[in-house]
Structure 1
Amino acid sequence: MTRTATPDSAQGGKVQREETFTEATRVPLWDPEHDDVLVCRQVRQETHDVKTFVFSAREPRTFQFSPGQYMTFELPVEGMLTRSYTISASAARPYRISITVKRVPGRPGSNWLHDYMVPGKEVNVSGPSGDFTTDATKDEKLLFISAGSGITPLMSMTRTACDLAEPKDLHFVHAARTPQDIIFRRELELLASQNAGLRLAFTCETSSASDSWGGFVGRLNLTMLGLMSPDFMNRKVFCCGPGPFMDCVRTMLAEAGFDMSRYYEESFDFGVLTATPIPEPTVAPEISGQTYRISFPKTGHVVECHPGMTILSAAREAGLLPLSSCQRGICGTCKSKLLSGNVDMKHGGGIRKREIEQGKILICCSTPLTDVEVEL
């Protein structure tokens, strides 16, 4: 685009000046069907055992995701490990993706990220996926309740709301072990100081004199919640945290008479996967009626599958515990190779079209139509 300007000259006259402007190059969208590599750009230490990992594509891409969604990472641990992590970044800043991960003893995924993920390192991913999301810029009363690293989807929602417009009426309650364990504490306090519609409340299980802590102390309870968010009964609640924490929140709200149709929670814990050593192979049961045989050549197991039963369900019924997480075909954790046979797979976005064409399936949502062989 060319524009002609006529600024005043030093002599008081008019001088013609031509300025040329070019439209910014359009950055292609991240296409989950084809784009599958992220490059680590930055690592930030949030607390003593929590890090944020910032990624972008190899070539410039813009990411479209809803705050609260996650991406599934393939980590080079024990051959290959699939783990899903919630995006903690603002959806209003589309050029980078970040995840915030707590190091947990005994969990290979989080430990590998903490030990080996550095700027410049690449990782294969799929997504974004997930349906735990809301628009915190709407004119409705919201209450976010989180604990530990469960803060990440709610932080993405809060960051997005603050980037797009001031949150209308948002109460954010977070529980941590100690004041030092509050993830994003300084950023949340800054956002609250800049956005009148955002109200914060933290509670810590323990604190010491050295903490100079003036907030709530103890596990979240109904009395405490009433002080943090006096009108919580009139709000829509979004909750995320460890399973026992969410169980307690549900029980607490139900006992208070809260309308549970206005309660939403992250539907599964990405960090807790069903995985234990597979027992010794057993003799395949006799087939009776309309059953199918599912063979696992790597381990030598053969199990029986009844009509309408998924491969994962049949394996569990036989005492096997393959890696799985969401059990709804959205996270990709149970992705496996179909070596032979046919299945009916009704997935929720956890597998790409090209992966299906390569013979891969999600065993949590695949029902055998014939005898099948599966490589876990």
Structure 2
Amino acid sequence: MSVAHTSRPAEGRRFSLLSLFEAMATPHQLDRYLELVTPMVTVRDLRAEVLAVDRSTADTVTLTLRPTRQWRGFRAGQFVQVGVVIDGVRHTRCYSPANAQSSPDGTIELTIKAHPDGLVSQYLHENARPGLILDLSQAAGEFVLPTTRPRRVLLVSGGSGITPVLSMLRTLVEEKHAGSVTFLHYAYTENDVAYLDELRELADANPNVNLVLAYTDQETGGHLHGFFGQKHLDAVAPWYAEAETFLCGPPGLMRGVREVYRELGIEDRLHTEEFAPAATPVEGEAGGELSFTASRVTADNSGGTLLEQAEAAGLHPEYGCRMGICFSCTAVKKSGCTKNVRTGDTDTDPDKAIQLCVSVPVGDVALDI
């Protein structure tokens, strides 16, 4: 009892001292000064140090990260935001850990595909080295395995979408899950499959795990060829109606799987996450005026996304993924009509939080930015 009684005032004194130091550090946070000495010692900021770098395919890089003490872990399938400074500007992107959710050493494994126009992915692919310090967010996202593991699981991925479903597979194997698990991965060729050797080892070592590789540009090797359709589904998981399916991949694969599941009437068993921006089905019409009320800035509506137009007007709203996943760019629409470029849905409600990166204005719109 005496230990508990004396620890509370001590804890309170620590927080009081911390508040005092932060007040003395104004206008900058204390972490801004600490990072000049050692970037991995932080008071509030979450960061990660690159421990190892592996370029297993021509266009991917795998980073092993050691996060600072603020890290709270993740659930298989979730994503984190990674920030890096490029030419003096901090850029943030979303990536999904690929390791099992209960990593014993607390590290995070990210495999990043260097997209041709990807500023951050290209930078990390070319420049990541052990010792590099990255900004990191806590894990987020609802694309996760249910707490009660399904008796049958179908994991479907394509390209760099392999990481969240690989995390699910590794987690199920680590838990010694006894149910049926089929891992269906689409790639251009065998050389484009990240983690190929490990996938084969996992399937060989676990009789309940069925690995199926589908190649779209290679006619030999693999188990399937071409693009996803019901024939592929019937071949790899004839029990699909009784299973839970987890899907992550490029827009074409996502669209194909959704269409098949919709036609079969089992969309409720399909769980999805996408880390590539879907093709914009509708663009906003130019015309009208944008009002950024908090900044007292106005601009003609060019038809671009609200994030793009705010930046073009000289403003710097917070953003993360720029594809409608992380919700970092959410702001309050005070008035007007907006259209979601991913779904085509319009919204006319005032005083409503919207995502700037996937919303375009329809006529006059006022935003609290």
- Provide TM-score, normalisation by structure 2: 0.67
- Describe the shift of the 1:311–1:105 C-alpha distance in structure 2 as closer, same or farther (beyond 3 A): closer
Instruction: Report the Cα distance in structure 2 between the residues aligned to 1:137 and 1:56, rounded to whole angstroms.
Output: 29
The answer for the alignment partner of 1:216 in structure 2 is 224
From 49, 54, 57, give the equivalent of 1:47.
Answer: 57
Instruction: Report the Cα distance in structure 2 between the residues aligned to 1:33 and 1:311, rounded to whole angstroms.
Output: 34
The answer for the alignment partner of 1:75 in structure 2 is 84
Shift of 1:174: 0.6
From 229, 253, 256, give the equivalent of 2:261.
Answer: 253
1:191-230 map, 5 Å:
191-207=202-218, 213-230=221-238
Structure 1 residues 224-275: Cα deviation after superposition (integer angstroms, max 9, x where no partner): 22111222222111110012210111112222x1411111100x4256799x
- Describe the shift of the 1:127–1:261 C-alpha distance in structure 2 as closer, same or farther (beyond 3 A): same
Shift of 1:68: 0.5
Q: Is the 8 A contact 2:71 2:138 kept in 1?
A: no
SS in 2 for 1:128: coil
Instruction: Report the Cα distance in structure 1 between the residues aligned to 2:265 and 2:43, rounded to whole angstroms.
Output: 41
Instruction: Report the Cα distance in structure 2 between the residues aligned to 1:184 and 1:68, rounded to whole angstroms.
Output: 17
Instruction: Report the Cα distance in structure 2 between the residues aligned to 1:227 and 1:124, rounded to whole angstroms.
Output: 43
SS in 1 for 2:228: coil
The answer on 1:171 being equivalent to 2:182 is yes
SS in 1 for 2:138: strand
Q: Is the 8 A contact 2:44 2:70 kept in 1?
A: no
Letter in 2 for 1:124: D
Structure 1 residues 321-372: Cα deviation after superposition (integer angstroms, max 9, x where no partner): 97663547x453x389x9xxx9xxxxxxxxxxxxxxxxxx99649xxxxx87
Shift of 1:303: 7.1
Question: What is the total number of aligned residue pairs between the two structures?
Answer: 289
Structure 1 residues 197-216: Cα deviation after superposition (integer angstroms, max 9, x where no partner): 1111111012266xxx2522
Q: Is the 8 A contact 1:295 1:373 kept in 2?
A: yes
From 124, 134, 156, give the equivalent of 2:145.
Answer: 134
- Describe the shift of the 1:42–1:107 C-alpha distance in structure 2 as closer, same or farther (beyond 3 A): same
Q: Is the 8 A contact 1:295 1:301 kept in 2?
A: no
Letter in 1 for 2:168: M
Letter in 1 for 2:322: S
Shift of 1:34: 2.8
The answer for the alignment partner of 2:111 in structure 1 is 100
Shift of 1:89: 1.3
- Describe the shift of the 1:270–1:204 C-alpha distance in structure 2 as closer, same or farther (beyond 3 A): closer
Letter in 1 for 2:199: L
Instruction: Report the Cα distance in structure 2 between the residues aligned to 1:327 and 1:150, rounded to whole angstroms.
Output: 16
- Provide TM-score, normalisation by structure 1: 0.66
- Describe the shift of the 1:198–1:258 C-alpha distance in structure 2 as closer, same or farther (beyond 3 A): farther
The answer for the alignment partner of 1:294 in structure 2 is 293
Letter in 2 for 1:245: L
Instruction: Report the Cα distance in structure 2 between the residues aligned to 1:283 and 1:137, rounded to whole angstroms.
Output: 51
The answer for the alignment partner of 1:236 in structure 2 is 244
Q: Is the 8 A contact 1:136 1:142 kept in 2?
A: no
The answer for the alignment partner of 1:86 in structure 2 is 96
Q: Is the 8 A contact 1:68 1:157 kept in 2?
A: yes
Identical counterparts, % of pairs = 25
Structure 1 residues 47-88: Cα deviation after superposition (integer angstroms, max 9, x where no partner): 221111110025x67642100111101121351211111111
Shift of 1:194: 1.4
- Flag structure 1 segments of 5+ consecutive residues without an equivalent: 1-31, 275-281, 305-309, 343-360, 366-370
SS in 1 for 2:151: coil
- Describe the shift of the 1:77–1:104 C-alpha distance in structure 2 as closer, same or farther (beyond 3 A): same
SS in 2 for 1:247: helix
Shift of 1:117: 1.2
The answer on 1:148 being equivalent to 2:159 is yes
The answer for the alignment partner of 1:65 in structure 2 is 74
Instruction: Report the Cα distance in structure 2 between the residues aligned to 1:228 and 1:39, rounded to whole angstroms.
Output: 40
SS in 1 for 2:66: strand
Q: Is the 8 A contact 2:277 2:323 kept in 1?
A: no
Instruction: Report the Cα distance in structure 2 between the residues aligned to 1:218 and 1:321, rounded to whole angstroms.
Output: 43
SS in 1 for 2:145: coil
SS in 1 for 2:86: coil
- Describe the shift of the 1:56–1:314 C-alpha distance in structure 2 as closer, same or farther (beyond 3 A): same
- Flag structure 2 segments of 5+ consecutive residues without an equivalent: 1-41, 281-285, 335-352, 358-365
Instruction: Report the Cα distance in structure 2 between the residues aligned to 1:187 and 1:230, rounded to whole angstroms.
Output: 25
